[in-house]
């Protein structure tokens, strides 16, 4: 999944959790919502999706315009984004403006949290140990594998916990050391934070925020997640001390309320998070029943199954399991194009010509997603046609299901120059490599193989951009040429200047380069070792 896909699906899940939280925050165990937020973090931080028949995205159908005519490669490299699988990774600039903006935002966000935490930690290190019989007894009662220390500082006004491997419970120096019942509540609260690794959870939440800083929903998640950590901790204290202690615990919380003194990320504070909400939650705490536990589990599994998964690939996609692309000139396969008939595309039986709403099609293209996040290109060309048509597929949320067809406007049709390469049939593939001969590439007719500097080429890859449009343009006319040969020993890529389009609108060809094995492995995740020879849709 791409970053935007992760962020979008995460936002949908966040919205679902926010609605559930508003409806049932005082009716379900507070751990329920912590678990839901952890699922959100999983969706935001793990770059792959889990297909599910229960996914809500199966019910969503948002049309998105396809990226123009795909007149080239059968299967894109694994580096091609799932957000637009028909866009070749090599046609985009090495570093896009959006990528730079995202990097700057992430660095600034991470820098803010790191600097703030380091500043707070320096303040905390000025603390000194608390030596009393009560704290010693408390440490013995709450034995953990990690070493826990209790310290005090005159630079804080509310208890907090920081540290992961060697957690520290930090108490205000002005604490009432004679009020043992109040100290018991405070230390019990902080030990719950340590036992549940809440500092680690906040670290992951902070990481998600730095990565998805541009997504307002993630900021909402970060705030509510911090609140729910405290609510769940309060609930654990009440269940440990008994429901009769609710009022006393609430009074301790009110007594510890103080003015906010800045942000202390990755720390768990006793009284900094939404005091009114916490007191209300404390007073409404009830005994946990079997029904509430079952309901909580049902909500968690339902939310995860519906919102944290992706739709299973539609079986309506033609040739989904196929690996070769299909490009035809003048004649179309009725079976292949049957899926487009509900949208107005028909095949004349006698001639095999395509018609769209009664008009003869000049050029048709569709990039059909396959199960390995690559694409199967379906193309058609008829020089005497009067309309150009492209398929429209939904976004990643519904596995790019076919949602319609789109005809280019008369203006687009008249100004569009279909490159001559698309007029070749698959049998004329040898001619396609003539343009590379000036740079040392040779096509051996007898061996049906490519050679460069006397070495047989395993992978040849040329990513071209027509009309000098950027790779994220809706009007992109994308064209690629590839060849894979199992007997080859080197991997060859073209070098093009996309700022200087040639007569066909491609980036100007300036040379060839040999790719390293690491680049080959990175870019050919979706290539099959069973396919030899020329692989082109032209």
- Stated as kind and residue range, the H or E segment containing 441 is strand 441-444
- Residues 462 and 470: their CA atoms lie apart, in Å, by 16
Q: What is the pLDDT of residue 323?
A: 36
Task: Return all residues near 333 (Cβ < 8 A) that are at least 6 apart.
Answer: 326, 347, 352
Q: Walk across the sheet containing 268-269 and list its strands.
A: 128-129, 149-153, 168-172, 160-162, 268-269
Question: Measured on CA atoms in the order 145, 146, 147, 148, is the torsion positive or negative?
Answer: negative
Q: What is the pLDDT of residue 267?
A: 65
Q: What is the pLDDT of residue 360?
A: 92
Q: What is the pLDDT of residue 259?
A: 41
Beta strand 477-484 with 490-501: parallel, antiparallel or unpaired? unpaired
Q: What is the pLDDT of residue 155?
A: 84
> Does the pTM of the predicted model rise above 0.85?
no
Q: What is the pLDDT of residue 83?
A: 27
- Answer yes or no: are the C-beta atoms of 13 and 397 closer than 8 Å: no
Structure tokens at 212: 């998805």
Q: Is 274 helix (H, G, I), strand (E, B) or coil?
A: coil
Question: Measured on CA atoms in the order 310, 316, 319, 322, is the torsion positive or negative?
Answer: positive
Q: What is the pLDDT of residue 350?
A: 83
Q: What is the pLDDT of residue 400?
A: 66
Q: What is the pLDDT of residue 523?
A: 59
SS (H, E, C) 373-423: CCEEEEEEECCCCCEEEEEEEECHHHCCCEEEEEECCHHHHHHCCCCHHHH
What would you report as the CA-atom Rg of the chain, rounded to the nearest whole angstrom? 31
- Residues 287 and 495: their CA atoms lie apart, in Å, by 69
**CA-based end-to-end distance of the chain:** 29
pLDDT < 50 stretches in the chain: 61-94, 259-263, 314-325, 372-374, 396-397, 420-430, 466-468, 470-478, 525-538
Q: What is the pLDDT of residues 129-159, one digit of tens each?
A: 888 888 888 888 888 888 888 998 888 888 8
Q: What is the pLDDT of residue 114?
A: 92
Return the domain boundaries, the chain: 313-411, 422-535
């Amino acid at each position: 999944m791409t970053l935007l896909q992760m962020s979008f699906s995460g936002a949908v899940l966040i919205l679902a959790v926010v609605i559930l939280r508003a409806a049932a925050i005082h009716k379900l165990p507070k751990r329920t919502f912590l678990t839901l937020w952890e699922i959100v973090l999983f969706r935001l931080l793990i770059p792959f999706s889990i297909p599910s028949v229960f996914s809500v995205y199966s019910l969503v159908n948002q049309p998105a315009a396809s990226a123009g005519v795909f007149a080239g490669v059968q299967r894109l490299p694994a580096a091609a984004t799932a957000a637009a699988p028909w866009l070749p990774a090599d046609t985009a600039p090495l570093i896009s403006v959006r990528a730079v903006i995202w990097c700057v935002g992430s660095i600034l966000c991470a820098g803010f949290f790191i600097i703030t935490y380091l500043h707070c930690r320096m303040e905390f290190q000025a603390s000194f140990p608390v030596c009393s019989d009560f704290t010693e007894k408390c440490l013995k009662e709450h034995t953990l594998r990690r070493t826990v220390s209790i310290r005090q500082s005159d630079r804080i006004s509310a208890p907090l916990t920081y540290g992961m491997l060697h957690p520290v419970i930090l108490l205000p120096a002005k604490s009432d050391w004679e009020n043992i019942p109040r100290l018991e509540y405070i230390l019990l609260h902080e030990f719950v934070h340590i036992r549940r690794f809440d500092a680690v959870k906040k670290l992951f939440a902070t990481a998600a925020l730095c990565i998805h800083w541009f997504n307002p929903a993630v900021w909402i998640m970060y705030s509510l997640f911090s609140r729910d950590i405290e609510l769940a901790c309060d609930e654990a204290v009440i269940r440990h001390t008994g429901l009769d202690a609710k009022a006393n615990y609430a009074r301790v919380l009110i007594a510890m309320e103080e003015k906010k003194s800045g942000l202390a990320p990755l720390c768990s504070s006793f009284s900094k998070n939404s005091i009114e909400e916490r007191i209300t939650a404390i007073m409404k705490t009830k005994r946990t029943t079997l029904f509430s536990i079952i309901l909580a589990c049902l909500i968690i599994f339902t939310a995860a199954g519906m919102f944290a998964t992706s739709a299973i690939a539609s079986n309506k996609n033609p040739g989904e399991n196929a690996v070769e692309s299909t490009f035809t000139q003048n004649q179309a396969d009725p079976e292949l194009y049957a899926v487009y008939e509900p949208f107005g595309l028909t095949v004349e039986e006698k001639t095999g010509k395509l018609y769209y709403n009664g008009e003869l099609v000049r050029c048709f293209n569709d990039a059909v997603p396959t199960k390995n996040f690559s694409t199967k290109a379906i193309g058609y060309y008829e020089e005497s046609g009067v309309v150009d048509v492209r398929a429209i597929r939904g976004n990643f949320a519904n596995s790019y299901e076919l949602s319609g067809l789109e005809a280019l406007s008369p203006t687009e049709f008249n100004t569009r120059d279909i490159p001559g390469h698309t007029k070749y049939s698959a049998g004329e593939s040898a001619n396609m490599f003539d343009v590379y001969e000036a740079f040392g590439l040779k096509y051996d007719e007898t061996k049906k193989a490519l050679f460069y500097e006397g070495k047989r080429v395993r992978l040849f890859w040329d990513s071209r951009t027509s009309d000098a449009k950027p790779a994220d343009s809706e009007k992109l006319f994308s064209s690629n040429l590839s060849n894979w040969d199992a007997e080859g020993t080197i991997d060859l890529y073209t070098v093009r200047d996309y700022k200087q389009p040639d007569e066909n609108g491609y980036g100007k060809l300036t040379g060839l380069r040999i790719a390293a094995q690491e680049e080959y492995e990175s870019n050919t995740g979706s290539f099959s070792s069973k396919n030899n020879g020329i692989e082109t849709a032209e």
